[in-house]
């Protein structure tokens, strides 16, 4: 059914809401089947629900995508009771239906347990992971089956589009986005409204809009989960942006490694076209827009704007010099506006609620909320959406639940592989674009990797530099050779071959790589190295001067010994040693032959009395 006016769309919405109101109070089951929960067995749980409920069940069942608390998946919510069940298995499905859905009884061992009090928490809103979040963009995921446009309409979807197309001029839309203070969520943090304005003013009858869903940061999956769970919010933002800019064509660039995101956005585009929200004469407004999905090959550098456009054009994803901006000469040398998934999804919120409301959230220079991927050595991993300006301490301890095993938090890397490592001493830093940059890191697309006291910061710098050297397109010497040389020096340091002057050389090399590289990959590649030197220089010096790894990570610098006072001569270490480096008889303390020891750590793992020591 192709709708020809906003009134017809509102009639459809009214009908959907009336049907739902008629079922208000009835039990319904919501299961997260996003990629994160699928990895924990959500599809098997889905199959179990379908089998137990049967095809003629009157109980409403909804398959949604990411709710954020990925570490606790598969997540199941029973409404209207608001009961939040975690780590659900297929075997528990009959019990959930029999006891909770039919009788309203709570199954306590499926609830989240507060680690401090041991108290079972039934409601999602009371779980510490969610308490301090403000989910403006991500919050609708739990209510929406991404394959049903009706669910998006029920939560107010496409109201902002009606307002933009029929009650605002393109200039008024751009001004509203400018006044909101929205900055690009893809990494650069450039003011979105200014970019839109430049593209609108650029010469040319043909213009393009592009959604960047080429998310290549290790541990980051914000864009993927938003595209999987609420693709219509992204499409609505793109349609509004295209109208404001004057574009009639657009692309959704998704990496091919995101099959569920590709599938769900494809369904959303098809549904929007059938309802008259895409294509010719959208809702009778006279505005036309065609959106096409383009699948990327997975290169990290393809997330850079000019490299991404080269990929769409059919060329190798290599950046180009930006003496001419993309808004003036981008895709096929025509004016092009590119924003990432989260940026586009913020647009309907701004248009519907207004710039004044939106800009009241966040800090002076960073407005609204930000979705972060919180991973690493932390109790509560997952996706969080918080107001700009929340401190790292609140994120790590209040939302993330602190560090496993009672260990001390050492640092957080923000901004993905080319971000910087911020030490625990700076955890009261407000998280926004400007403050993170001052600290030697960056917002990036929103990755946060938490590290505990057992993390070697030299090894961390080496790890991310290894990733960046492999992902460099090789077009410019500074990035291609600079990242390689930094990796070689770091590798030598972790193997006990570091020498005086290496730290200063890394700093100089990092500066040159940053200043001389063509694109942001090379420009930010030294961040892991420079920030770890800035805040953890003592660890570098210990590796170089004392040939010692303080965290006990760099195997070449470790020495395994057996404490004769603690050894019970059980023979387990001798039996498991792959190089027969351990000698000793029964009832005689064992010894390690350092010439044969390969420092694999097996002896330490199997020792029942912790007699194996590492220095």
> What mean pLDDT comes out for the span 3-15?
96
C-alpha dist (Å) from residue 189 to 131, 135, 182, 209: 27, 20, 9, 18
Rounded to whole angstroms, the Cα distance separating 211 from 292 reads 10
Q: What pLDDT, on a 0 to 100 scale, did the predictor assign at position 532?
A: 96
- Judged against a pLDDT cut of 80, whether residue 477 lies above it is answered with yes
- Judged against a pLDDT cut of 80, whether residue 272 lies above it is answered with yes
Q: Which of the four pLDDT bands, split at 50, 70 and 90, describes residue 615?
A: confident
Q: Which of the four pLDDT bands, split at 50, 70 and 90, describes residue 89?
A: very high
Q: Which of the four pLDDT bands, split at 50, 70 and 90, describes residue 600?
A: confident
306: tokens are 């000019």
Instruction: List, for residues 363-380, the tens digit of each pLDDT value.
Output: 999 999 999 999 999 999
Instruction: List, for residues 182-235, the tens digit of each pLDDT value.
Output: 999 987 789 999 999 999 999 999 999 999 999 888 778 999 999 999 999 999
Q: What pLDDT, on a 0 to 100 scale, did the predictor assign at position 187?
A: 78
Q: Decide: 455 and 377 in contact? Cβ < 8 Å.
A: yes
Domains recognised in the chain with CATH numbers: 26-79+83-122 (3.40.30.10), 148-359 (3.40.50.11540), 369-452 (3.10.20.600), 457-545 (1.20.1440.230), 559-614 (3.30.70.20)
Rounded to whole angstroms, the Cα distance separating 473 from 485 reads 16
Q: Decide: 394 and 129 in contact? Cβ < 8 Å.
A: no
Instruction: List, for residues 244-261, the tens digit of each pLDDT value.
Output: 999 999 999 999 899 999
Residues in the chain: 615
Kindly tell me the sign of the dihedral angle through the C-alpha atoms of 579, 583, 586, 588. Answer: negative
SS3 assignment, position 295: strand
């Amino acid at each position: 059914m192709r709708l020809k006016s906003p009134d017809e769309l509102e009639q459809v919405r009214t009908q959907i809401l009336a049907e739902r109101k008629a079922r208000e109070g009835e039990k319904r089951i919501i299961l997260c089947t996003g990629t994160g929960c699928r990895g924990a067995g959500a599809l098997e749980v889905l199959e179990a629900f379908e089998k137990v409920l049967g095809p003629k069940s009157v109980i409403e069942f909804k398959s949604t995508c990411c709710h954020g608390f990925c570490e606790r998946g598969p997540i199941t919510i029973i409404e209207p009771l608001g009961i939040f069940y975690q780590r659900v298995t297929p075997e528990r499905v009959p019990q959930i239906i029999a006891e909770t859905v039919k009788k309203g009884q709570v199954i306590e061992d499926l609830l989240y347990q507060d680690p401090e009090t041991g108290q079972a928490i039934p409601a999602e809103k009371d779980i510490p992971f969610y308490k301090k979040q403000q989910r403006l963009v991500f919050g609708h995921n739990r209510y929406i089956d991404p394959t049903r446009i009706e669910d998006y309409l029920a939560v107010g979807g496409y109201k902002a589009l009606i307002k933009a197309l029929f009650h605002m001029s393109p200039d008024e839309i751009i001004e509203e986005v400018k006044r909101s203070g929205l900055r690009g969520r893809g990494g650069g943090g450039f003011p979105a409204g200014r970019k839109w304005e430049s593209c609108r003013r650029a010469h040319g009858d043909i213009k393009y809009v592009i959604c960047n869903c080429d998310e290549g940061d290790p541990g980051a999956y914000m864009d993927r989960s938003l595209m999987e769970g609420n693709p219509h919010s992204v499409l609505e933002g793109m349609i509004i942006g295209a109208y404001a800019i004057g574009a009639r064509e657009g692309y959704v660039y998704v990496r091919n490694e995101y099959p569920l995101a590709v599938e769900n956005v494809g369904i959303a585009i098809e549904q929007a076209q059938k309802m008259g929200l895409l294509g010719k004469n959208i809702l009778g407004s006279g505005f036309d827009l065609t959106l096409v999905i383009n699948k990327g090959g997975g290169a990290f550098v393809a997330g850079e704007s000019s490299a991404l456009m080269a990929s769409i054009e059919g060329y190798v994803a290599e950046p180009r010099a930006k003496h001419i901006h993309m808004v003036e000469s981008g895709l096929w040398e025509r004016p092009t506006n590119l924003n990432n998934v989260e940026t586009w999804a913020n647009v309907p919120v701004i248009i519907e609620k207004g710039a004044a409301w939106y800009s009241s959230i966040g800090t002076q220079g960073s407005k609204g909320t930000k979705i972060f991927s919180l991973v690493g050595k932390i109790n509560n991993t997952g996706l969080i959406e918080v107001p700009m300006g929340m401190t790292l301490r609140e994120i790590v301890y209040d939302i993330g639940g602190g560090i496993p095993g009672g260990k001390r938090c050492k640092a957080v890397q923000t901004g993905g592989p080319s971000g910087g490592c911020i030490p625990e001493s700076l955890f009261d830093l407000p998280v926004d674009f400007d403050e993170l940059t001052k600290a030697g890191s960056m917002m990036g697309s929103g990755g946060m990797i938490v590290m505990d006291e057992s993390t070697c910061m030299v090894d961390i710098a080496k790890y991310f530099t290894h990733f960046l050297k492999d992902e460099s397109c090789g077009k410019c010497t500074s990035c291609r050779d600079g990242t390689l040389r930094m990796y070689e020096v770091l590798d030598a340091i972790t193997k006990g071959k570091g020498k005086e002057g290496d730290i200063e050389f890394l700093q100089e090399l990092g500066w040159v790589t940053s200043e001389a590289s063509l694109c942001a990959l090379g420009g930010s590649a030294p961040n892991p190295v420079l920030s770890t030197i800035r805040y953890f220089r003592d660890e570098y010096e210990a590796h170089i001067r004392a040939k010692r790894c303080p965290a006990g990570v760099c195997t070449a610098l470790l020495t395994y010994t057996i404490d004769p006072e603690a050894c019970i001569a059980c023979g387990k270490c001798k039996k498991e040693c792959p190089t027969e480096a351990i000698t000793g008889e029964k009832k005689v303390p064992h010894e390690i032959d350092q010439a044969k020891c390969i420092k694999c750590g097996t002896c330490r793992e199997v020792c029942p009395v912790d007699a194996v020591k590492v220095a």
